[in-house]
Amino acid sequence: MAEPPVLNAASDVDADAEPAAAPRKNRKWLIIAAAALLVLGAGGWLLLGRGNNHAKQVEKPKESAGPPLYLALDPPFVVNFEGDQLVRFLQIAVQVMTRDPAIVELLKTNDPVVRNDLLLLFANQKYEVMAAREGKEKLRSDALTVVRKVVQSGGGKPEHVEQVYFTSFVMQ
């Protein structure tokens, strides 16, 4: 009989070890390359994506806001209106807040127009509405709109009028 072939155990192990090691080396490099691409991609996104927005914000310096300037519209406004079948009086002291000196000068120049428009607004109110805080806040918002319209018609920038404040509010 013929002898059965004998396999050399060492040669089988070496033959199996080399092909197994090659894919492991390839996988290791593949993982390293993928990680490097991920890091480079994230860095590029930060530099090109978010970095551009930050650069644009830095490039555009904000206008210096400056301190607030208050213009008192003196004398206080006094109007009468009817409420509960009685003649009622409303006295309001008003100040306008801006940060632009040009707006202050424009309002001083157009003082008669501002006072006229605000008097018409104040005289057109109802006592019941003005007795509540919400009514006063709405009136203040409406007064801001009126002052901004006057500024716009005078050639100024209405958004530069930031607020209108009532420094005195008396109803009788």
Residue 1 DSSP code = -
Q: What pLDDT is stored for residue 60 in this prediction?
A: 47
Model pLDDT for residues 111-165, shown as the tens digit of each residue = 999 999 999 999 988 888 888 999 999 999 999 999 999 999 999 999 999 999 9
Query: Residue 48 pLDDT > 50, yes or no?
Result: yes
Q: 9-18, 100-109, 121-130: which has the highest mean pLDDT?
A: 100-109
Residue 140 C-beta-side C-alpha neighbours within 13 Å: 19
85 band by pLDDT with thresholds 50, 70 and 90: low
β-pair type (161-171, 69-83): unpaired
- Nearest CA to 68 out of 92, 93, 96 is that of 96
Percent of the chain with pLDDT over 90: 50
Q: Picking from 44-48, 49-53, 69-73, 131-135, which range would have the lowest pLDDT averaged per residue?
A: 49-53
Cβ-based neighbours of 35, under 8 Å, separated by 6 or more: none
For residue 169, pLDDT over 70 is answered with yes
Q: Which has the higher per-residue pLDDT, 75 or 88?
A: 75
The 3-class secondary structure across 138-165, one letter per residue, is HHHHHHHHHHHHHHHHCCCCHHHEEEEE
Q: How confident is the model at residue 72 (pLDDT cuts 50, 70, 90)?
A: very high
More confident residue, 122 or 56: 122
Report pLDDT for 27: 77
**Predicted TM-score (pTM) of this structure:** 0.62
What was the pLDDT predicted at 36? 74
Q: What pLDDT does residue 59 have?
A: 47
